[in-house]
Amino acid sequence: MADQIDLNWTDPNSVRKAIRVQAPQAIAWKVFTEQLDAWWPLAVYKIGKTAAVNAVIEPRVGGRWYECGDDGSTCDWGRVLAWEPPSRLVLAWDINADFQYVPGLGTEIEVRFIAESANTTRVELEHRKLDRFGDRRDQMRTIFDQTGDWGKLLASFAQAAERATD
């Protein structure tokens, strides 16, 4: 079973979360990058006008990160800045404080997949450059750290990764 790891992070322009997942590094990577619909709560965490049915990270630097609507529409979230399977992913999060896509906003999400053993992976996520939200930085930091919570998303991801090993 996954367990959250306290990182004691205090940078006001960054939120860091980590979780230990009972899954091999390659499976953790695959579930995170290829199976977002298995763990991302698309009914709630979406920005498009229609119901979201999937989210996609295109597997290359410069690739899109977007949601797919039930009507076939797509809605960008950002871009892939680093693609280093199975250990590191960096995504541009171009969604502003009103949860609208703004090309080039450029907060960043870095995810590291660290093999601790053959069947255990430590996943560390940092959402940084929150100063790009301007005077709404503190509000967004609270959302990412507590109310919307990357920790909750990582827990959902960990459950999906652990199911993928069964």
- Which residue is associated with the tokens 């295109």? 58
The C-alpha atoms of residue 10 and residue 20 are separated, in whole angstroms, by: 21
Locate the domains of the chain by residue range.
Answer: 3-164
In order along its 166 residues, the chain shows pLDDT tens digits of 666 666 656 789 999 999 999 999 999 999 999 999 999 999 999 999 999 999 999 999 999 999 999 999 999 999 999 999 999 999 999 999 999 999 999 999 999 999 999 999 999 999 999 999 999 999 999 999 986 689 899 999 999 999 998 7
pTM of the model: 0.93
Q: Look at residue 107 in the predicted model and tell me its pLDDT.
A: 98
Q: Look at residue 2 in the predicted model and tell me its pLDDT.
A: 67
Is the distance from CB of 164 to CB of 29 less than 8 angstroms?
no
Is the distance from CB of 69 to CB of 51 less than 8 angstroms?
yes
The third-level CATH classification (topology) of the domain covering 3-164 is: Alpha-D-Glucose-1,6-Bisphosphate; Chain A, domain 4 (3.30.530)
Q: Look at residue 38 in the predicted model and tell me its pLDDT.
A: 96
Q: Look at residue 3 in the predicted model and tell me its pLDDT.
A: 66
The C-alpha atoms of residue 142 and residue 138 are separated, in whole angstroms, by: 6
Is the distance from CB of 5 to CB of 20 less than 8 angstroms?
yes
Is the distance from CB of 81 to CB of 65 less than 8 angstroms?
no
CB proximity list for 122: less than 8 A, separation 6 or greater:
5, 18, 19, 20, 21, 112, 113, 114, 116
